[in-house]
Amino acid sequence: MNSTTQIKSILLAFRPKTLTAALVPCVAGTALVRAVGLSWDGWVLFYALMASFLIQIGTNLVNDAVDFKKGADTEKRIGPQRITQAGILSARQVMALGTLCFALAVLCGIPLVIKGGWVIVGIGIASVLMGYAYTAGPFPLAYLGLGDIFVILFFGLLAVMGIVFLNTGKWLSEAFVLGLQIGLHATVLIAVNNLRDRSGDLLVHKKTLAVRFGVQFSRWEIAILCFAPFVLNIYWWTEGYKIPALISLLALPLAMKITKNVFSTEPSPAYNQFLGQAAGLHLLFGLLMAMGLAY
């Protein structure tokens, strides 16, 4: 393999299609700051984005290495290629690259800590540790069926509430609702991924919710995750934020399409396309909310 192909494979291992999970809460949270009539700091947005991207990439790389070592990623895998399983890099090299990402995320977090204080230290440490513990360590979250909760909490609630706090110094109820909406849609990605990989995960005792409760449960989970954020728009309507409540409904057809697809298709390579649709839903809904809030 030539160096250009190797670099491309490594970049794909960052799972760029899923990086919307880091982008959307930062952008939407910043838009909320504007919506409540307060000023926002561009440097906070920049450093929060960099830290979020690096934590997610680090999590993806550790997941790549650990799943290979535990036998979850084999030549029978139906998902996209993983660089450890493909032999492009060794598990040790991938773990080292993931660790580097976490270290760089900590560096990006220093300006945020200076601005936000010790509470940001706590959020930052928890985010890095949970990113590592997603598949590694003595209690790997993904192998215990806790990955979905992790995504809602860290790529939804804490991400949005944290960036709003950094800009305003306040914990706002609006940030909690927005964070929950974004976290639920971010979790669609992991739910689709886990349903696709259910048969392989079952063999290596990776007890995702799809493994624990079965295909039908996972389909209903995905449906609820897709539609619940739209139901929560009732909050914005009653609080007088009618534009974001209405404009974000433009993403509803995509939620319907994803739900229809997973109910009508057995877990297979076709789910790779559904995963892209889930990322699109998360991005579209989040950006529409941000546009409506910033209007």
pLDDT in tens, 215-257: 999 999 999 999 999 999 999 999 999 999 999 999 999 999 9
Contacts of residue 165, defined as CB under 8 A and 6 or more positions apart, other chains included, come to 116, 119, 120, 171, 175
Q: Is residue 151 part of a domain?
A: yes
The DSSP output letter for 40 is -
Domain that holds residue 94: 19-294
Q: Is residue 156 part of a domain?
A: yes
Q: CA–CA separation, 290 vs 10, rounded Å?
A: 31
Angle subtended by helix axes 158-168 and 173-196, to nearest 10: 150
For the chain, the C-alpha Rg in angstroms (whole number) is: 19
Q: What is the mean pLDDT of residues 68-79?
A: 58
Q: Is residue 3 part of a domain?
A: no
Q: Is residue 2 part of a domain?
A: no
Question: Residue 204: its pLDDT value, please?
Answer: 80
Q: Is residue 4 part of a domain?
A: no
Query: Is the pLDDT score of 73 beyond 80?
Result: no
Query: Is the pLDDT score of 152 beyond 60?
Result: yes
Q: CA–CA separation, 96 vs 259, rounded Å?
A: 37
Q: Is residue 8 part of a domain?
A: no
Here the CATH number for the domain that contains residue 77 is 1.10.600
Q: Is residue 11 part of a domain?
A: no
Question: Taking the alpha carbons of 231, 232, 236, 238 in that order, is the dihedral positive or negative?
Answer: positive
Band (126; pLDDT cuts 50, 70, 90)? confident
Q: CA–CA separation, 129 vs 55, rounded Å?
A: 10
Total number of domains in the chain: 1
Q: Is residue 70 part of a domain?
A: yes
Q: E strands within the chain?
A: none
Identity at 282, one-letter amino acid code: H
The DSSP output letter for 146 is -
Band (94; pLDDT cuts 50, 70, 90)? confident
Percent of the chain with pLDDT over 90: 55
